[in-house]
Amino acid sequence: MIDTSDLRITEIFHSLQGESRTVGIPTVFVRLTGCPLRCQYCDTAYAFKGGHQTSITEIVDSVKKYDCGYVTVTGGEPLAQPECVNFLKILCDLRFNVSIETCGALLVNEIDERVSIVLDLKTPGSLECDKNNYDNLAYLKKKDQVKFVICDRKDYEWSKARIDQYDIASKAGDILFSPSYDDLKGQELANWILEDRLAVRLQLQLHKLLWGLEPGR
């Protein structure tokens, strides 16, 4: 059966995964257009508007051309487009290793269980932490990950408190702490984690270390 639904796409590109558990692995990224949030540190604001309405069939054909087993659906905020859920299922049915990067404001309960969810809980420094939907934590699996982008010490302490408050370590397989690129040095965040013996994974955005702020990498 041919899928006739479509999605608004900003770009599709092939690169190394810069974050999460699969960091360093060649991955096809499908960046959907649009996002209901406006985080102050956002590095993909170019995906807020525009894009091209594209059939899911065409998107899948583009992904297949890279001959790559890993696909990450990102944004913007991919779940802002309802057809994203169907797209994720199709990718899984095609036996891709699929992940989604989502802001945590929209419910993840309809996402196919084969998908690895990277749920970004917004810290106060993002200026959007009031948008977090903590109901999402109940739907997480051990293959899923919860990410905190840390802007300063206040964000760090806030994130530690949320980990304890919601017992996130028992719900997600990994907890990721990432320094906001322009706000906090990775070494400083690393020192805080080590001083507190914190059971989280520090992630430095590999793609930015390799290629800087170049879009589509």
Q: Tokens 């696909």 — which residue?
A: 71
Q: What is the pLDDT of residues 56-84, one digit of tens each?
A: 999 999 999 999 999 999 999 999 999 99
Q: What percent of the chain has pLDDT over 70?
A: 96
Stronger pLDDT, 216 or 145, i.e. the higher one? 145
pLDDT at 78: 97
Q: What is the pLDDT of residues 156-212, one digit of tens each?
A: 999 999 999 999 999 999 999 999 988 999 999 999 999 999 999 999 988 888 887
pLDDT band at 31 (very low <50, low <70, confident <90, very high): very high
Structure tokens at 60: 């899948």
Structure tokens at 119: 């749920």
pLDDT at 181: 87
Q: What is the pLDDT of residues 99-146, one digit of tens each?
A: 999 998 999 999 999 999 999 999 999 999 999 999 999 999 999 999
pLDDT at 217: 62
CB 73 within 8 A of CB 100: yes
Going by the DSSP 8-state scheme, the letter that residue 170 receives in this structure is G
Q: Which domains are present in the chain?
A: 6-211 (3.20.20.70)
pLDDT averaged over every residue in the chain? 94
